[in-house]
Structure 1
């Protein structure tokens, strides 16, 4: 198939995974990956990379894209679609246009705190190093949001005497997708390491990073030298709403998709991962398998399969 396939977003399991998958199956297609960085960042390794000194994770976690597909570095873009819904154009920040027969949106999410990775390649290493310095020089931590258990475990492994407090809105850590036994085992492990867990409680206002006194909804007071917010991410979909209309997104700014990962009004545009409105624990893992199959079947004219 001599077709142009443009993929916006290059996460390790999302856009870059789909690009590799399609490259292996569509040797005649021109596949272009658009991403602000020239490499993919393996976000699950960030807790250890930030906390543990003297490791080689900087070299192994920042993964350069292979040469199976063209890569364009762009910090922003705009999408246009033809009236017949058969192809369109991606306009990059530098003014260059990329025509597509199929577009895959894998733009991921905005994160905060230590999970936030700058879109400027020159700033990535310093941003991670600055987080590591902040953790090393502070003693008492309050953690809020995603990856809290990973960071807590890493901190207590490296600095057992540092104090870490976690407030979680459920009576068990993590969420109900995980088995009860696993969640209870995680709680037991963290308590054994000296992590203070305040469960079934909330912090209504997260203070700015730095020293703070935190009071939970139920009255628990926590003193912290450093507040670290890594709350749930927000979809990185602003450009989608501006390009294709606000109706493309739901109330959470997630892209509305059919069970085939196609946009409701744009059969030539697929979306996947954190950016879509499908409620699944492993959206990226699901999309990595199904999205390439559906792109291929769409290009062949044989219709897409349900995920």
Structure 2
């Protein structure tokens, strides 16, 4: 899809996660289709609503799997955009934009580029480009077959996955291994972290603190920690934090584009410092806040507004971060929520059931990409 036979300017979004899909949806409602060609590129054909997948990899009630997969063709308002299923291999920069080299050998020119590459997760959340449904099935089968399940990492993902497994399989042994001395991280106050821990303990989920796992291979029915401790296991699931999927960005756009941890350095406008025609949203952004669904939405709102403003030669908006809010489910009937307002508000099971535990906020998430 080059511009050889089309005088319209290409605005290209790379990555069909929530951030990229939100940008594509918003731009499809505002861009003049006679002047601009909006393109969304992703290796998968569907947006995966990741916050709901902790349940979907364990069970599939009411066709949950179908509801967490959103066809990327559907995010465009009145079909005012084009979806290309491919992986971006490299970015070739030019003065008035650039060109993307795709895995299908296609080359796509751009005037404005939005990068939303997301993160690389471990199984069971390492969903492939094709065969996503098979991946769900394989995860559910592995969890059903196991009796002693060990999760490595007590962040929000590990906590929610443990709760979902305990809901469906209350007689299985579930252990979470955490390197730190409490669940979650120091972004959140201890009283909130203890409230989360208490709900895990109430579900008879074991928590092992202060232990590191260097090798997730099971030997003789057990997992060995760095200190030499053995924990009974016939299934190990890594729920440590993901890594930004930004290698192609660093290789293409040069030194200084990425931090040592692989995040993309941006200006407050969410533009690349040396490439003002390139914007970044989502988990890949180097910004001192937790990586969450609603943070990506907030960044996408800024980027879409700034692209429109730049076209109209108006001042750009600045991204100033978002308030830390988190709702952690522990199964479909409970959880704990934290709002960093005032003294820090902590709400319990009743609130989580109302907001997330039952519905997983699927309808709300879909509405943010126009569905």
> Which of 266, 287, 293 is equivalent to 2:299?
287
Change (3 A) 1:297 1:210: farther
Partner of 1:251: 260
> Is the contact made by 2:212 and 2:227 (CA closer than 8 Å) also made in structure 1?
no
CA displacement at 1:53 relative to structure 2: 4.0
Equivalent residue runs for 1:266-305 within 5 Å = 266-281=275-290, 282=292, 283-305=295-317
Provide the alpha-carbon RMSD of the alignment: 2.0
1:79 deviates by 1.1
Q: 3-state SS of the aligned residue for 2:318?
A: coil
Q: What is the rounded CA distance, in whole Å, between the counterparts of 2:39 and 2:88 in structure 1?
A: 15
Does the alignment pair 1:14 with 2:22?
no
How many residues were matched structurally?
A: 300
Pair 1:144-2:152 in alignment: yes
Change (3 A) 1:69 1:47: same
Match of 2:40 in 1: 33
Question: TM-score scaled to structure 2, two decimals?
Answer: 0.76
> Quick one: distance in 1 between partners of 2:50 and 2:116?
15
C-alpha spacing 1:31/1:40, structure 2 compared with 1 (3 Å): same
Give the aligned partner of residue 336 of structure 2: none
- 1:132 maps to 140
Secondary structure, aligned partner of 1:302: coil
Task: Identify which range, 20-29 or 161-170, moves more after superposition.
Answer: 20-29
Distance apart, 1:203 and its partner CA: 1.3
Does the Cα contact within 8 Å between 1:210 and 1:225 map onto a contact in 2? no
SS in 2 for 1:129: helix
Comparing 209-218 with 220-229, greater Cα deviation is found at 209-218
Cα offsets for 1:259-305 (capped at 9, x unmatched): 11111100000011111211212441331221111222222222322
Q: CA deviation at 1:113?
A: 1.2
Shift of 1:176: 3.0
d(CA) in 2 for partners of 1:4, 1:53: 39
Candidates 77, 81, 94, aligned match of 2:93: 81
Offset at 1:206?
Answer: 3.3
Contact 1:211–1:227 (8 Å) recurs in 2: no
SS where residue 34 of structure 1 aligns?
Answer: strand
Who is 2:349 aligned against? none
Superposed, 1:86-97 pairs within 5 Å as 86-97=96-107
Alignment of 1:82-231 (within 5 A): 82=94, 84=95, 86-120=96-130, 123-145=131-153, 146=155, 147-199=157-209, 201-208=210-217, 212-216=221-225, 220-231=229-240
The unaligned stretches of length 5 or more in structure 1 are none
Q: CA deviation at 1:172?
A: 2.7
Go from structure 1 to structure 2 and tell me whether the alpha carbon gap of 1:157 and 1:211 turns closer, same or farther (over 3 Å shift): farther
How far, CA to CA, are the matches of 1:32 and 1:69 in structure 2? 6
User: Residues 47, 277 of structure 1: CA spacing in aligned structure 2 closer, same or farther, 3 A cutoff?
Assistant: same
Query: What's the secondary structure of 1:45's corresponding residue?
Result: helix
Residue 3 of structure 1 deviates from its aligned partner by: 3.4
Instruction: Using the TM superposition, give the Cα deviation of residue 229 of structure 1 relative to its aligned residue in structure 2, in angstroms.
Output: 1.0
Alignment pair present for 1:46 and 2:58: no
Deviations 1:173-226 (A, max 9, x none): 222333443322211111011000123x12141323687523445665411111
SS of structure 2 residue aligned to 1:80? strand
Say whether the 8 Å CA contact 2:48–2:69 is kept in structure 1: yes
Deviations 1:74-109 (A, max 9, x none): 033321121x3x311112222222221110000111
